[in-house]
Amino acid sequence: MISAWLLGYVGLGLFAGFFAGLLGVGGGGIMVPVLTMLFTAQGLPHEHVVHLALGTSMATIVFASVSSLRAHHRHGAVLWPVVKAIAPGIVLGTLLGAQLAALLPTKSLAIFFSVFMAYVSLQMIANVKPKPSRTLPGAGGMFAAGAGIGGISALVAIGGGSLSVPFLTWCNVKVHQAIGTSAAIGFPIALAGTVGYLIGGHGNAGMPAGSIGFIHLPALLGTVLPSVLMAPVGARLAHRLPVAVLKKIFAGVLIFLSAKMLHSLFG
């Protein structure tokens, strides 16, 4: 039975990594609902399945974000002064968001995640791109923006791209630099989020074997390597496949998975 679950984790890592590379979206949108369903099927504590899915997904993003960051840095697409300015708010917001997640009931977290994924999906279907209308704010504004991006990212276990790219584009940052800078921002989000979920889950009674805080190590080990290996494959195919069509299909998949997750918890 353990090997069957491991195969499920590996398959999830391959699927999430491929689409992360192909469409430039984080794997959290796929990983969280699927991990929630896998954990529920395994009989893990019902009150913690979403917390474990969020924490494990965030830990997986740490490894994937390093690969993405390096690739964008090699192409000169990362605006490091922007990363430096927004990082303090990102770290604080992400840590606080993870702590808030630890206090919220599983069903409330699941509803928030599903609503946010619906927003992301509709954004992808409509191909919404904010019009550049201003410049980057000062230190206080960057800190506040970072805190908001980090807090929401922690609550839904994403690398922040669906928030940071529109924000940077709105502030007149060129699209390819917004994407590259967002990839760099994803690393402190994932790292701070992982630490937050480690702390938030520490000392909770009834946690399943193989878990550290809200991070389920068997799932983490099963998903990390496949997702990291498949992301470059997806990135290479992005220039050959009809990405615009695939984005709409992927958005439908996100909505379907979120709905299935809610059904597994409320059904």
* Mean pLDDT rounded to a whole number for the chain: 86
Provide mean pLDDT across the span 29-43. 91
User: Residue 98's pLDDT band (boundaries 50, 70, 90)?
Assistant: very high
Least confident of 52-56, 213-217, 245-249: 245-249
Give pLDDT, residue 202: 85
Give pLDDT, residue 123: 81
Give pLDDT, residue 122: 86
Does this model's pTM top 0.85? My answer is yes
Give pLDDT, residue 24: 62
Position 67 pLDDT exceeds 80: no
**Residue 16's Cα: distance from chain center in Å?**
10
User: Residue 194's pLDDT band (boundaries 50, 70, 90)?
Assistant: very high
Q: What six digits make up the tokens of 124?
A: 């992808």
DSSP 3-state of 136: coil
Tell me if 230 sits within 8 A of 19, measured CB to CB.
no
Position 239 pLDDT exceeds 70: no
**Residue 132's Cα: distance from chain center in Å?**
25
Least confident of 10-19, 22-31, 69-78, 206-215: 22-31
Cα separation of 28 and 258, whole Å? 11
- The domain tally of the chain equals 1
More confident position, 227 or 240? 227
- The string of pLDDT tens digits covering residues 115-132 is 998 888 888 788 777 677
CA distances from 157 to 40, 66, 105, 130, 197 (A): 18, 16, 16, 23, 10
Give pLDDT, residue 93: 96
Q: What six digits make up the tokens of 164?
A: 């940071």
Give pLDDT, residue 2: 56
Cα separation of 215 and 224, whole Å? 13
What percent of the chain has pLDDT above 90?
40
Cα separation of 30 and 26, whole Å? 8
Domain containing 117 equals 2-266
3-state helix, strand, coil in the chain (%, to 5): 80, 0, 20
Cβ neighbours of residue 2 closer than 8 Å, sequence gap 6 or more: 218
